[in-house]
Amino acid sequence: MSLCSTPLLAAVALPFLAEIVALLVISIGIAYVCYRTGLASIAGFLVAGVVIGPSALGLVQDQALIDSMAEVGVILLLFTIGIEFKLEKLARIGRAVFLGGGLQVGLTVGLVVALLAAFGVSWQAGVYTGCLVALSSTVIVLGLLAERGETDTPAGGLSLAVLIFQDLAIIAMVLLVPMLAGQGGTGLEVIWALAKAGGLVAAVLVLARKAVPWLLEKIVRTRRTELFLLTVVTICFGTAWLTSLAGVSLALGAFLAGLVVSESAYSEHALSEVLPLRTVFNAIFFVSVGMLLDVTFLAQQLPLVLGVAAAVLLLKVLLTTSSVLVLGYPVQVAAAAGLTLAQIGEFSFVLERAGRSAGLSPAGLGVTGEQTFIAVTVLLMIVTPFLVQGAPKLGQWLERTPLRRLGRLGQRQEEATVEETAKLEDHVIVVGFGPGGRRLVRVLKDTGIPFVIIELNPQNVDEAREAGLPVIYGDASRQHLLELARVKHAKVCVVAINDPQATLRVVRLVHYENPTLQVIVRTRYLHEVERLHEAGADIVVPEELETAVRLFSQVLNAYMVPPEEIEAQMRTLRADDYGIFRGSIQEAHLMVLRGLDEEGLHTRAVAVHADAPAAGRTLEDLRLRRDYGLTVLSVRRDGQAMANPDGSFRIQPNDRLVLVGSADRFVACAPLFREQTAGEGIGVGGKG
């Protein structure tokens, strides 16, 4: 008898295997098409779910199995986000969580109740519907922000804060459902359930500081990869399960589990181990959401679905933006967060099922309300990648309208800033007071180098002011704020923010305002280096290359290479890698590092661009010493330095002149080195 026909193998056949294979094959195909067309893969997975769902091709019938696997994907996604987030950051956004998130949920529920009451819908059905609409998609939004590297931007941080409050609010919402349906339950029971959930969350956070780091260290010492992975997964699912016992959503429990692991020295290793699992199950989650859509109902009720979707989109953008403005953020950031959170979330499905079993339906419309809710939710989820992509552009557009004055901290702070910065010269402008900006400011303060900070996050501004640091609140890509920072008298500008588009705008504007300024930029990815240099950056430090350098140094250390040799190798790597992209401006490096001696402060390396007035003229023609009080120490061309050039020396494009002089002299000579076309498209000339 053939082995393949034995009863044993027949007994373990998996009846759902064909459905899983169909799900994966269709998902891969559509995700590949999305990749080739530049669309987000999340939208592709949602569309794949619609295609293979019971209302379309019907390739997958076991919805319960897919839902269970999707829940695993939610848990793993929120767990990895928690690992990357850190408790310190969570403490900093506490005000945004409870004030911003509380206002967003409260205003949304209240307005939905009022709108539905105008159509004769009961307040109970209105509150229930408002709760459904108030929730946004934690899974999709955080996944997209992580994919785009925007979780640390002001808009990304605010979105996360609001989502955390929504995940906490779902506890109360689920408990309210029986009360709204007239099936019992009291306010005291709701308060008791929330108290239990809060106590459990506090216990989990205590574990983060005490037990888990100790446990992971013991496991790591065994040097067994499989044991470490099993331990991390157990922490993930175990914490989610424990929190669910207190009525907390599994997603929030998984996020807390990630925070627990993030306090360990082995958090990065844990993240790398879990990521492959997350990728598979996360794709299944989005497919499962797409499968809920009834294509026949959508075709028959398309005007209704589109109208409701547009109304929800507008309502959530307006209310979320208003809630964030109360926190003091500018309209540019608030509107970006509002558009990012404009969809209906996956946990609304959980709430909808609870309401359905209790006899409630969206807007009190029965089956029509249920199907409309599902169609609108899936539709908004599909367009969310495009909303997130367009969110910064909406914020930038609003910043150019009279609405830009909304959410500002007030004129009094600006007046104080003018007084603080009035005498600054040869200083450093630090754009961004995040982790990188804080470390740089600490060094500048310790060494006595003058500086001023420009920061868009009101909480970071408050921290800087409490520490007695000179700080300007606002968007550094606004010309007026750069004037407050005395950009024309500055020596160096360091851009250390996590928003690629904002970074590009800042670099263009500061380079135009002061072409003698040395612009140093930190960026995440190597592919951004070239366009930042084209925008005017002198030094670009991509984190990808710095990570490679650090890894290389650790490898050499493991092979017991002497420390001085490691340092020499690291210098070589940095010179080779960065030199390819930035040209040779070692003079600028040395001048910055030299610190506070007079020659170092008043010496600058200035690039000569092809369409600058200085290009093609001799030093005698430029009359730098006679008219501007500047002395040319050397000229660097094609990697060669020419010291003390005479007046007949002709400047060529891409030369770098090393000049010495006072800050006001560099201000005067700026037109000689300013590109003639540099002001186009960056909005110079207006006051912010």
DSSP 197-217: HHHHHHHHHHHHHTHHHHHHH
The answer to whether 651 touches 657, Cβ cutoff 8 Å, is yes
The answer to whether 347 touches 133, Cβ cutoff 8 Å, is no
Residue 419 sits in the same domain as residue 477: yes
What is the average per-residue pLDDT within 114-142? 88
The answer to whether 249 touches 208, Cβ cutoff 8 Å, is no
**Tokens at residue 171, please?**
């506890």
The CATH number covering residue 84 comes to 1.20.1530.20
Q: For the residues of 55-78, what is the DSSP string, one character each?
A: TTT-----HHHHHHHHHHHHHHHH
Residue 60 domain-assigned (yes or no): yes
Which residue in the block uniquely carries the two structure tokens 């497919």? Answer: 287
What is the average per-residue pLDDT within 279-291? 76
**Hey, CA dihedral for 657, 659, 665, 666, is it positive or negative?**
positive
What single-letter amino acid sits at 651?
I
Q: From the CB of residue 132, how many other CB atoms can be counted at a distance below 10 Å?
A: 28
What is the average per-residue pLDDT within 244-252? 69
The CATH number covering residue 430 comes to 3.40.50.720
Lowest mean pLDDT of 10-24, 162-176, 379-393, 450-464, name the range. 10-24
- Closest by CA to 380, choosing from 456, 311, 468, is 311
Half-sphere exposure (Cβ direction) of 620: Cα atoms closer than 13 Å: 4
Cα 96 to Cα 155, 156, 190, 325: the distances in Å are: 11, 12, 24, 11
pLDDT single digits (tens) 473-499: 877 887 878 888 888 888 889 998 877
Residue 377 domain-assigned (yes or no): yes
- Closest by CA to 92, choosing from 462, 416, 441, is 462
Residue 394 sits in the same domain as residue 431: no
DSSP structure class, residue 673: H
Lowest mean pLDDT of 273-277, 308-312, 482-486, name the range. 273-277
What is the average per-residue pLDDT within 278-283? 73
Cα 597 to Cα 424, 657, 670: the distances in Å are: 17, 20, 24
Q: How far apart are CA 5 and CA 573, in angstroms?
A: 61
End residue of a domain, out of 532, 567, 596? 596
Say what the pLDDT of residue 590 is. Answer: 36
Crossing angle of the two packed helices 366-399 and 138-148, in degrees rounded to 10: 30
The CATH number covering residue 654 comes to 3.30.70.1450
- Closest by CA to 254, choosing from 229, 278, 290, is 278
Cα 116 to Cα 137, 307, 308, 363, 436: the distances in Å are: 23, 15, 12, 7, 48
Q: How confident is the model at residue 185 (pLDDT cuts 50, 70, 90)?
A: low
Q: How far apart are CA 601 and CA 89, in angstroms?
A: 36
Residue 254 sits in the same domain as residue 393: yes
Kindly report whether the global pTM for this prediction surpasses the value 0.75: no
> Residue 201, exposed/middle/buried by CB under 10 A (0-12, 13-18, 19+)?
middle
pLDDT at 684 over 70: no
Say what the pLDDT of residue 413 is. Answer: 47
Q: How far apart are CA 402 and CA 355, in angstroms?
A: 43
Residue 641 sits in the same domain as residue 546: no
Residue 419 sits in the same domain as residue 332: no
Q: How far apart are CA 487 and CA 1, in angstroms?
A: 86
Cα 358 to Cα 130, 192, 377, 664: the distances in Å are: 17, 22, 21, 74
Lowest mean pLDDT of 306-310, 347-351, 599-603, 648-652, name the range. 599-603
What is the average per-residue pLDDT within 280-309? 83
Q: How far apart are CA 457 and CA 271, in angstroms?
A: 28
Residue 613 sits in the same domain as residue 509: no
Residue 686 domain-assigned (yes or no): no
- Closest by CA to 455, choosing from 469, 391, 446, is 469
The answer to whether 319 touches 104, Cβ cutoff 8 Å, is yes
Q: How far apart are CA 396 and CA 19, in angstroms?
A: 45
Cα 624 to Cα 218, 656, 661: the distances in Å are: 67, 15, 10
Q: How far apart are CA 348 and CA 374, in angstroms?
A: 10
The 3-state DSSP class for residue 28 equals helix
Residue 619 sits in the same domain as residue 550: no
Residue 120 contacts by C-beta under 8 Å, 6 or more apart in sequence? none
Residue 513 domain-assigned (yes or no): yes
What is the average per-residue pLDDT within 265-280? 72
Q: Which residue has the higher pLDDT, 413 or 542?
A: 542
Residue 67 domain-assigned (yes or no): yes
The 3-state DSSP class for residue 634 equals strand
Residue 2 domain-assigned (yes or no): no
End residue of a domain, out of 596, 622, 646? 596
The answer to whether 413 touches 479, Cβ cutoff 8 Å, is no
**Tokens at residue 31, please?**
């995700």
Which residue in the block uniquely carries the two structure tokens 């992975």? Answer: 229
Say what the pLDDT of residue 140 is. Answer: 81
Half-sphere exposure (Cβ direction) of 387: Cα atoms closer than 13 Å: 27
pLDDT at 357 over 50: yes
**φ and ψ at residue 605, rounded to 5 degrees:** -100, 120
pLDDT at 158 over 60: yes
Which residue in the block uniquely carries the two structure tokens 């037990």? Answer: 211
Domain range for 50 is 15-403
Say what the pLDDT of residue 601 is. Answer: 56
Starting at the earlier edge strand, list the strands of the sheet with 631-637: 603-607, 656-660, 631-637, 640-643
Cα first-last separation, the chain = 84
What is the average per-residue pLDDT within 176-199? 70
Half-sphere exposure (Cβ direction) of 331: Cα atoms closer than 13 Å: 13
Q: How confident is the model at residue 418 (pLDDT cuts 50, 70, 90)?
A: low
Residue 279 sits in the same domain as residue 427: no
Q: How far apart are CA 514 and CA 248, in angstroms?
A: 54
Residue 221 contacts by C-beta under 8 Å, 6 or more apart in sequence? none
End residue of a domain, out of 403, 433, 464? 403
Q: How far apart are CA 22 and CA 59, in angstroms?
A: 7
- Closest by CA to 503, choosing from 468, 454, 464, is 454
Q: From the CB of residue 318, how many other CB atoms can be counted at a distance below 10 Å?
A: 16
The answer to whether 281 touches 70, Cβ cutoff 8 Å, is yes
Most confident among 190-204, 423-437, 557-571, 670-684 (mean pLDDT): 423-437
Q: How far apart are CA 182 and CA 117, in angstroms?
A: 19
Residue 344 domain-assigned (yes or no): yes
pLDDT single digits (tens) 30-79: 778 877 776 667 777 878 888 877 777 777 766 677 777 777 777 777 77
The 3-state DSSP class for residue 226 equals helix
Element (H, E) at 641: strand 640-643
Residue 289 sits in the same domain as residue 211: yes
What is the average per-residue pLDDT within 648-674? 88
Q: How confident is the model at residue 243 (pLDDT cuts 50, 70, 90)?
A: confident
Q: Which residue has the higher pLDDT, 236 or 586?
A: 236
Residue 90 sits in the same domain as residue 228: yes
Q: What's the domain count of the chain?
A: 3
Residue 465 sits in the same domain as residue 390: no
Cα 680 to Cα 504, 535, 676, 685, 686: the distances in Å are: 14, 12, 9, 11, 13
Half-sphere exposure (Cβ direction) of 615: Cα atoms closer than 13 Å: 14
Residue 457 sits in the same domain as residue 479: yes
pLDDT at 311 over 90: yes
Which residues face 471 on adjacent strands?
453
Residue 348 domain-assigned (yes or no): yes
Which residue in the block uniquely carries the two structure tokens 């930035």? Answer: 582
Cα radius of gyration rounded to whole Å, the chain:
29
